[in-house]
Every structure is written in structure tokens, then in C-alpha cells.
Structure 1
Amino acid sequence: MLRKRIKALSIACVLVCILPIASYSMDKDEFLKFLVNASYPEIKDDNKEVSKNTKNENKNTEDKQGKDYIKFHVGEENIPKIKNSENNNNNNENTTTTANASEYKDDVRVTKENPRILIYHTHSGETYSNSPGGNFHSKDKENSVMAVGGLVTEELNKKGWGVVHTTKYNDYPSFNHAYANSLKTIQSILPKYNSIDIAIDLHRDARDLTNDALKRSEEERMTTTINGEKVAKFFFVVGEKNPNVEHVRSLAQDITKFAQSKYPELILPVVEKPYGKYNQFVAKNHMLIEVGSNGTTATEAKASAKYVAQILDEYFKQKN
């Protein structure tokens, strides 16, 4: 204890007596080094050679308390440089670009410039039979229609399409205002990307499944097997109250017919709703697609995503 006090008094005397002279005779880096070495002898200065004995002492001390010490760098010339080769820089650049392309910022992903397709979810909280918290009005995104929409987005992106996918919850907290909310979502996106002429509102169907027999029946109705894999079926819904109902109906029936020619068991007939509107007037080519139902699993619905994307890709490329 006495030794520490003597040491502290010695440093104080040095600072009081020498500080004014040192501050005038040294440049700022040298002066800073002086203060550091005087005040914190346990900190290693990278520029100063330490005697062999001091090095050994420091090594022993670091072995015991290394994590408690900091490495101090004085002067700009002593800041460690990160050495990256030109190839590494290029690789990092490519990785960043790829990573940025798959990011959702403010619940929106844009896969390419001038996207042509918008995928959104009026009933974002629709989940599948394996969702642990129930499959209605849920925030279990991994087992929801939004996860399926994300896979359809990725598959279309691989095929060269620019896609905007939004994972905004439009049915939460108010389910009754879901279509009013999704219309606002659409209207916030379309002005930014006037290249969009295809819009998809992706849902899953819902049935009353109050007992095991109904659940089994629904799973049989809404699943099939393609290439040895169990997948969920899908279908189109048309709201007959839309001013452009003829075009919406014609498009849904045309794609259904095309899908039947490729995967007859995958697609169900178009469903028409006499009193529905479903915001299908917002884009030149609007589709409300139901992938699976509350009687199918998220795995089965996700397995359908590649086939849905394939059908849409081939259909629109043929039309164009």
C-alpha cells in the first residue's frame, strides 16, 4: 500500500514539475506517448521497444489478466491496417451485393431494377396446419403465406423476373380492415415502381376443420404428389365486383388451363365470388392465388412455390 502511494506521489511530482516543459518541447504524439507511459505502464506502446525483462513480465501478466488489458495505439501511423487483397475486395463486394439483394428493408424486398411483379398478402397472418399458435390471425411468419410468397419471389428472381415482395401485416391488428390496409400498401409501392404490371395477392384457403375426419378430407382435397414430393394445390379467386372483372376472370382461367397442361393434379378450378372485389383493379394483371389451406402444412405449401413460379414464368413469357 505504501509503495503504491509513493509511486502515485512520484508521478504527480513528475507531472507538476515536467508537464509545462514537456508540453512545449514535444509534439502532440510524443506528448501523448509520454502521458500514456507515465500513467498506464501496463499498456503496450507498439512503437516503443521494450526490454527483454519487461517483455517477460508483460507476457506473464497477460497470461493471467490478458483480457482485462487494452491495446493502445498512439498516432495515426500506428492504427492497425486491415489487409485485403484485390481479389478479397472483389469477393466481398459481390457478397455484399448478393446479400443486399435478398434483404427485406421496411418489410419490402426488391429483387431487380424495374420490377414487373408485386407479391403481397392481404391476410398476412394466415398460417398452415402445423403452426403451433393456430393458423388464423397469427404472427408465425415462418409457417405463413408470407414464407410461401418469399419462396415464389426467390424462384421468379432466379428466372430473371424483377419482383417486389412485401411482408407487411395488413390484417393485424384489424382483420376486418385487411383489404383497406392492403390497398394502402399497394398504393404506397406502385408509384415507386411504375414498371409493375402483374400483382399477386397470395393467400391460403380456409375450411371448417372441427374434427379429424374433416382434417383428413381437407388434406386429401388440397394436396398431391409431384416427382415424389407431397405438395399443396393452388387455385385462383375472382372478385366479380371489380370494374375489370372480365380481364381478371379471363387471366385466371387462362393460367389455370396452362397449369393443367403441365401439372393436371396441382391446380383446382377458378373460384368466383359474386360480391367480392379484392383490390383486383389495382394492376393490369391481378391474381388472387390460394396456395394450400389450413388443412395443409407449411412444408407442403412451400413445396408448391417452385411450381407456382414455374407456371407464372412460362405463361407470361409466352404471352409477351
Structure 2
Amino acid sequence: MLKKRIKTLVMSCVLVCILPITSIAMDKDEFLKFLVNSSYPESKEESGIKEYKENANTQKYEKDYMKFHVGEENIPTINNENQKEETTNNADNANSSIAANSSKYINDVRVTKDQPRILLYHTHTGETYSNSPGGNYHSQDKPNSVLEIGTMLTDELTKRGWGVVHSSKYHDYPSFNGAYMSSRQTLDALMPKYPSVDIAIDLHRDGRDLTDSVAMKNEHERATSTYKGESVAKFLFVVGMKNENVSHVQGLANDITSYAMKKYPELVLPVVKKPYGKFNQSVAPNHLLIEVGSNGTTIQEAQASVKYIADVLDGYFKTK
């Protein structure tokens, strides 16, 4: 307790001394980032999870976790006004997704082969596409969500000989803020159970602020391509630059993007780097955060992309 008080006193003195000088040289956003980096230079994942579990009031920690593991710029605005109606409307729709609700999923997990090498999961399981009736965030509309894309990708990779562990657990519902904490707990539970896994894929879809029909049209053009006569959602890889193994994560994303560019240049977008994110990418030996389409593309366009993503992953990792 004494050490904590001393540390707090020292930090207060430092801030008092540097605040006038620093604030002159920095704008508000830069100064906020400075304070974040100064106050939490590492924000270790392991100690953070312990603190989360031991602290009865988790709201403050979840906010800090969002800063480092998600990146403040990625936090969407959730339309809570539609949530009650959306949940009611989608109660029956959730049951229509045969793959996600089949008997193959036991306790929200499906394993396609012995000694699986790939773990596929969704931190933002509630992300849906443009044709979802209740909004594109925080939804349980499984047939129009990234969960549907995950079940299809699991099937495609299994056809190509891969053993896949697919988690269909909702990590962002009912609490969006705790999504990355929740998916980390899933990783911690499944990785030891399947030690053969050396590739983890967190499957998302991109999200943009689409305020009107013009923005929607522009986003659709950016995030889709006509390929072999059909409209196909583009895909990309995201790197959290706050990972302690960022060089490996970034190298893997760049390498596989280059491989995809050679095969399907019309369908892959450049790697996106998030300066203040971690995304749990240090947990697995090879971690990929993949975004398939966006909230400006339809579920059908995302589905059309799956076979090409599977082909890229299959070809790349088999050559390695």
C-alpha cells in the first residue's frame, strides 16, 4: 500500500511538472496518447486479465483494455434504440443458421478433425452485414453475421484437409466493451485443450460510419469487386502495433497479403495497422485478424469471398 501511494505521489508530481510544458507542444489528441503511453507503457495481457478477474468493478478496466487491445478508433457507436426490437426480431432468425446451431457445435465449439491446427473465433461475433435488418453491431442475427462466414470458412478449410476448431461463442453480447477480454478467455481455454493449434484466426468484418446513401455507395465500391461474374467482398489483415511480438504479427500479415495479391489482386486490400491495438495477437504462434467485407457489403458478397480466403490460407500455410 505504501509503495502504491509513493508511486501515485511521484506520478502526480511528474504530471504537474510536465503538464504545462507538454500541453503547449501537443494538441489534445497527441497529449491524450502521451498520457496513455506514460501511464500504461506496457499494459501486460496476463496481469491485466488477473486484475480484471479480481476487480469487482470492471468498468474502468474494460475502458483501459479497449484503449490498448482494441484501439479507441475502433469502438463503434451502438444504436441502442433498435436493440430491443432487433433482439426480438432475430430470436427466430438465429435458429435458421443450420451450420452455427447444428449438433456439431458442442458448447459453442466445433472440431472438424483430430489434431487441429487452426482455431477460428470471433471477438465481435455480433458484427453483421448491410442486409441485416436491425443494424450492423451488437446483433444476434446469425445468418447475416461474421459467424456465418466463420462456419463457411471452417467448412472450406476442412475440405482442403485442415483440422479446425471453430468457436461460435458471442464475445460482444451482451457487453461489447468486454469483447476482447472475453475472447482472450476463450483462447486461454481452447489453446491448451488443442495443443496442435498453431494458427489462430479472429474473423471480423470492417466497420465504417455510413451516414447516408452516398457513403454507403462509396463504401460498397471500396469493399467489393466483381470477380468471375459475381460481386465479391474484399478482405484484409489487421495488425495491432502494441503487441510485444509485433514484428512477427506484422511480418506474417504482410507475407500472406503478398501471397494473396499474386493469386487474387482484385480481392485483397493492404494490411491495416492499428497503433493502439493488441487484439490478443500474441497468444498464438501465428495469429491473423481478418476482416471480410464491411458493413457496406452484403452477406452474400462476404460468402462469395470465403472460397478465395480459404484458398489463400491453404496455399500459404502449406508452403510454410
- The residue type equivalent to 1:227 in the other structure is K
Name 2:171's counterpart in structure 1.
Answer: 170
Cα distance, 1:133 vs structure 2:
1.2
Matches within 5 A, 1:271-282: 271-282=272-283
- The residue type equivalent to 1:201 in the other structure is D
Q: Structure 1, residues 146-180: CA drift from partner, whole Å, max 9, x if none?
A: 10011111000000000000010000111011000
Name 2:192's counterpart in structure 1.
Answer: 191
- The residue type equivalent to 2:187 in the other structure is I
Name 2:226's counterpart in structure 1.
Answer: 225
Q: CA RMSD in A?
A: 1.0
Name 1:125's counterpart in structure 2.
Answer: 126
Report how many aligned residue pairs link the two structures: 219
Matches within 5 A, 1:235-254: 235-254=236-255
Q: Partner of 1:314: helix, strand, or coil?
A: helix
Give distance in 2, aligned partners of 1:107 and 1:143. Answer: 18
Instruction: Give 5+ residue unaligned stretches, structure 2.
Output: 1-101
Name 1:292's counterpart in structure 2.
Answer: 293
- The residue type equivalent to 1:274 in the other structure is P
Name 1:109's counterpart in structure 2.
Answer: 110
Name 1:208's counterpart in structure 2.
Answer: 209
Give distance in 1, aligned partners of 2:166 and 2:303. Answer: 16
Q: Partner of 1:115: helix, strand, or coil?
A: coil
Give distance in 1, aligned partners of 2:208 and 2:202. Answer: 19
Instruction: Give 5+ residue unaligned stretches, structure 1.
Output: 1-100
Cα distance, 1:134 vs structure 2:
1.1
Question: 1:149 touches 1:202 (CA, 8 Å); kept in 2?
Answer: yes
Name 1:318's counterpart in structure 2.
Answer: 319
- State the structure with more CA Rg: 1
- The residue type equivalent to 2:253 in the other structure is A
Q: Structure 1, residues 279-315: CA drift from partner, whole Å, max 9, x if none?
A: 0001000000000000000010011011100000000
- The residue type equivalent to 2:297 in the other structure is T
TM-score by length of 2: 0.68
Question: 1:237 touches 1:289 (CA, 8 Å); kept in 2?
Answer: yes
Give distance in 2, aligned partners of 1:306 and 1:109. Answer: 20
Cα distance, 1:181 vs structure 2:
0.3
Question: 1:120 touches 1:201 (CA, 8 Å); kept in 2?
Answer: yes
Tell me, yes or no, if structure 1 residue 301 matches structure 2 residue 272.
no
Question: 1:224 touches 1:232 (CA, 8 Å); kept in 2?
Answer: yes
Q: Partner of 2:268: helix, strand, or coil?
A: coil
Question: 1:243 touches 1:281 (CA, 8 Å); kept in 2?
Answer: yes
Name 1:260's counterpart in structure 2.
Answer: 261
Question: 1:204 touches 1:290 (CA, 8 Å); kept in 2?
Answer: yes
Name 1:154's counterpart in structure 2.
Answer: 155
Q: RCO higher in 1 or 2 (8 Å CA, sep ≥ 6)?
A: 2
Q: Structure 1, residues 94-120: CA drift from partner, whole Å, max 9, x if none?
A: xxxxxxx97111111100000000000
Q: Partner of 2:293: helix, strand, or coil?
A: strand
Name 1:89's counterpart in structure 2.
Answer: none
Give distance in 2, aligned partners of 1:103 and 1:226. Answer: 33
Q: Partner of 2:273: helix, strand, or coil?
A: strand
Give distance in 2, aligned partners of 1:295 and 1:285. Answer: 29
- The residue type equivalent to 1:209 in the other structure is L
Tell me, yes or no, if structure 1 residue 182 matches structure 2 residue 189.
no
Name 2:138's counterpart in structure 1.
Answer: 137
- The residue type equivalent to 1:114 in the other structure is Q
Question: 1:232 touches 1:292 (CA, 8 Å); kept in 2?
Answer: yes
Give distance in 1, aligned partners of 2:164 and 2:226. Answer: 28
- The residue type equivalent to 2:310 in the other structure is A
Q: Partner of 2:124: helix, strand, or coil?
A: coil
- The residue type equivalent to 1:305 in the other structure is V
Runs of 4+ aligned structure 1 residues displaced above 2 Å come to none
Give distance in 1, aligned partners of 2:170 and 2:103. Answer: 19
Matches within 5 A, 1:46-61: none
Name 2:60's counterpart in structure 1.
Answer: none
Cα distance, 1:226 vs structure 2:
1.7
Cα distance, 1:228 vs structure 2:
1.0
- The residue type equivalent to 1:115 in the other structure is P
Give distance in 1, aligned partners of 2:163 and 2:230. Answer: 28
Q: Partner of 1:210: helix, strand, or coil?
A: coil
Cα distance, 1:225 vs structure 2:
1.6
